Structure 1
């Protein structure tokens, strides 16, 4: 999702070809500290805090091309970015706003040429993570996933399950499936009448490292736990009733917070909003309130505040380096999940407001 991540991790976490139990919904007013870069008076801090999640989602909505999609440019050529668009759809549901944009984005995703360009044609190529992510988005949006863009998404996804229980890609370019693919598949299929396949749940539950965390890639010589993958796996396991393994993953997350309160990629000494957004979502929805709120505070400190240009207010910066248009869109999409604190298993657009809110800022005084 960011330019600092290796290419494979980019595909795994945030779209492209490979690629969210009881939930404690944390209100957006839980952390009141204003962004460290914003000189807003303390008296208005609580008002700003209550506005943060919706403002971040509102800023994200205003970045959509034609109000419906994201695009990416590579070597001077612009391509549709279905993965980031779905991230936005999920963020809108988490924040309960931008319903108009969510509907437009969903209709765009259901266009056959857009859909097949992401999940594959189902014959020569089919991508498990992309299919699962699209299925989850359709379910969150409460549209029929069995006819989405002319594709039966649950059936397509189930066809990609191997005897081991692992979901894999069918592609002449290789298999990019990983912990995100598996977790998204379980979260999405758990919402279907047939539920998530037991073998697939068992596969994910058995994929943990010795320390209780979960790796991004399976079958590696060394099992290296990863905050992003652990956050995803924990949510999928909790949703499918594997609470013991989910609890172990949550303990790993709690033990691997960085000094700034957030989370980063393996070996990192500083946190980023992408990893922290997923971890905060997993912790808060999993009932680990103190570490979850600490991670959420990291995100609020990355939010662009009232002292900035109106066009950037509400966005979430990727890291302590501040707002960067090259990374802010993806960072904000992930951060909204942590700010809202609602797990993937419970996301829904039900009751969402049509508008895309802006950050509440006090009127200037003379």
Structure 2
């Protein structure tokens, strides 16, 4: 029961880390001033509690590469020191999970859950602190499928390109200065964008995948494709005609607003709509308080 409770707390910590990143990503989305500094700080403080942090990145006997990398990146975005967070040197811990082959892997009795997200976030987290190891970047670049996209799982019999994984890999490779290695992935994303600007996962156009792809397109300097993705995301945002408690949220898919999927969809779509790649996120200049939604007049001009 204690282990299950720790896993649940770890999942909550993951959500808070993601929201910490998205709150500071929202600033470039419009002309509105940066906001949500108070909430982001509270989330970071909560995550720094030793028991909570251990439940997310692993305790003394287990360590999870993806979680460690996400936490380190979130801490850096908040302007704090990832080498001393919650009593843990997140960067040293992450480097300790780098194998001789350049892959970040989990150390756990429950198995290795590392994948393209772990690898990409590992590079993104280490790049601002002296640069990501060349072996880690080379491993990610070499995982590319023949069609130009990137798979979620490494070393599979069939390399299956995935929108989300390709979007993450492209961002990481660009952040590491490897644009030539990212180029095929960028082209694969553009070729897999639907006419309405969306990207799909498992056959369903959704704002989660579109948000990640939009971040990659922004990082790659593809404004036309990014703008199309952004318009799709904004088309699924709840406006003034929606329930007061839902306004501003982003639905997962065109099927309609679902409060069970909207929190994650909104968190993942905001950086994409803002045109803010993970490597560019910064809490600098963020101010407390959230803007209020003002209903626009529907009166037609005379």
Instruction: Tell me the TM-score normalised to structure 2 length.
Output: 0.91
Give deviations 1:54-93, integer Å, cap 9, x for gaps: xxxxxxxxxxxxxxxxxx9x9xx88761111111111111
Equivalent-residue separation in structure 1 for 2:56 and 2:266 (angstroms): 22
- Give the alignment partner of residue 93 of structure 1, picking from 20, 24, 29: 24
- Give the alignment partner of residue 160 of structure 2, picking from 224, 243, 246: 224
Number of aligned residues: 287
Asked if the contact 1:277–1:338 (Cα under 8 Å) also holds between the matched residues in 2, the reply is yes
Q: Matches of residues 236-275 of structure 1 in structure 2 within 5 Å?
A: 236-265=172-201, 267-268=202-203, 270-275=204-209
Unaligned runs of 5+ in 1: 1-71
Equivalent-residue separation in structure 2 for 1:324 and 1:79 (angstroms): 24
Alignment correspondent of 2:295: 361
Equivalent-residue separation in structure 2 for 1:136 and 1:350 (angstroms): 14
Alignment correspondent of 2:30: none
Instruction: Tell me the TM-score normalised to structure 1 length.
Output: 0.76
RMSD in angstroms over aligned alpha carbons?
1.7
Equivalent-residue separation in structure 2 for 1:338 and 1:103 (angstroms): 22
Unaligned runs of 5+ in 2: 28-34
Give deviations 1:165-205, integer Å, cap 9, x for gaps: 0000001110000000000000010011x310011110001
Offset, 1:95: 1.0
Equivalent-residue separation in structure 2 for 1:172 and 1:259 (angstroms): 45
Q: Is the deviation greater in 344-353 or in 152-161?
A: 344-353
Q: Matches of residues 119-268 of structure 1 in structure 2 within 5 Å?
A: 119-121=57-59, 123-192=60-129, 194-265=130-201, 267-268=202-203
Offset, 1:364: 7.9
- The 1:84/1:322 distance shift into structure 2, 3 A limit, reads same
Higher relative contact order (CA 8 A, sep 6+): 1
Offset, 1:309: 1.4
Equivalent-residue separation in structure 2 for 1:79 and 1:364 (angstroms): 45
Asked if the contact 1:179–1:215 (Cα under 8 Å) also holds between the matched residues in 2, the reply is yes
Alignment correspondent of 2:31: none
Equivalent-residue separation in structure 1 for 2:228 and 2:292 (angstroms): 24
Equivalent-residue separation in structure 2 for 1:80 and 1:280 (angstroms): 25
